[in-house]
């Protein structure tokens, strides 16, 4: 005893605690008043973080969720050390934190709403952003003489690993052409109209429209008129 309050330190064993006091000089003992109960609250059950993956730049992102949840427990999504949005209440089943668009590693921490006990959920998911194919200019087009062989349509440059599809209006024309890191030529075309090109990354599936378009027109031939005159004339005549 010190003449004031004392502590026996932190106790980790669950149960009921009492105190017995003994006077050192006389050996007299007495039970202290009341008791203290120590209980151990369980941590929230750990479930797996789900979702994640990659999406194309400018897209709506990818979903991040939890494989299961417990009613009465709140689940906070984190990207790195920063919380994302508000905690989501457990429902006794899988939950979703919605689509996430920020690239990074996502984790989840669960907090029991009654006891305040927290626990990290199992694993993490990574969200990454795939770039769109680079934009190049559609080249060629123009007018050609009626009955001619048409005009070339191409692309000012291209990227290896990206496939380029030529469109006539909304209709694909021919097979996609693989990028070569050089300009492309889709061939010669005679159909009158507007041609555009879209690019698709062969690995990520991300696509992008190329800039501008090429228009093909047909120039009419001069109107044919009969050649007149001719005949014979006298030597020395006009």
Residue 183 CA to residue 140 CA, distance in Å, equals 12
16-55 pLDDT, tens digit each: 999 999 999 999 999 999 999 999 999 999 999 999 999 9
pLDDT at 87: 97
103-127 pLDDT, tens digit each: 999 999 999 999 999 999 999 999 9
156-199 pLDDT, tens digit each: 999 999 999 999 999 999 999 999 999 999 999 999 999 999 99
Rounded to the nearest integer, the mean pLDDT of the chain is: 97
Residue 191 CA to residue 217 CA, distance in Å, equals 8
User: Residue 66's Cα: distance from chain center in Å?
Assistant: 18
Other Cβ atoms closer than 10 A to 27: 7
Residue 193 CA to residue 52 CA, distance in Å, equals 43
Structure letter (DSSP) for residue 183: -
Which tokens sit at 27? Answer: 């050996």
User: Residue 71's Cα: distance from chain center in Å?
Assistant: 30
pLDDT at 182: 98
pLDDT at 169: 94
- Confidence grade of residue 82 (pLDDT, cut at 50, 70, 90): very high
This prediction's pTM: 0.79
Residue indicated by tokens 């120590």: 38
Helices and strands of the chain, counted as H and E runs: 0, 22
Going by C-alpha positions, the residue among 82, 86, 71, 69 that lies closest to residue 122 is 69
Structure letter (DSSP) for residue 237: -
């Amino acid at each position: 005893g010190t003449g004031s309050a004392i502590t026996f330190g932190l106790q980790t064993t669950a149960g009921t605690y009492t105190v017995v006091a003994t006077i050192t000089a006389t050996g007299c003992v007495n039970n202290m008043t009341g008791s203290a109960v120590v209980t151990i609250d369980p941590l929230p059950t750990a479930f797996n973080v789900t979702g994640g993956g990659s999406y194309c730049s400018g897209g709506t992102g990818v979903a991040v969720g939890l494989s299961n949840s417990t009613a009465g427990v709140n689940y906070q999504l984190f990207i790195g050390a920063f919380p994302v949005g508000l905690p989501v209440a457990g429902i006794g089943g899988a939950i979703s934190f919605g689509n996430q668009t920020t690239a990074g590693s996502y984790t989840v921490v669960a907090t029991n709403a009654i006891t305040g006990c927290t626990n990290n959920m199992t694993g993490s998911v990574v969200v990454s952003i795939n770039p769109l194919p680079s934009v190049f200019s559609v080249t060629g087009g123009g007018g050609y003489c009626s009955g001619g062989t048409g005009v070339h349509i191409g692309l000012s440059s291209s990227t290896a690993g990206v496939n380029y599809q030529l469109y006539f209006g909304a209709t694909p024309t021919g097979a996609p052409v693989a990028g070569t890191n050089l300009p492309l030529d889709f061939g010669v075309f005679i159909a009158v109209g507007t041609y555009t090109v879209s690019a698709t990354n062969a690995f990520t599936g991300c696509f992008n429209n190329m800039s501008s378009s090429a228009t093909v027109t047909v120039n009419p031939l001069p109107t044919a008129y009969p050649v007149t005159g001719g005949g014979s004339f006298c030597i020395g005549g006009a």
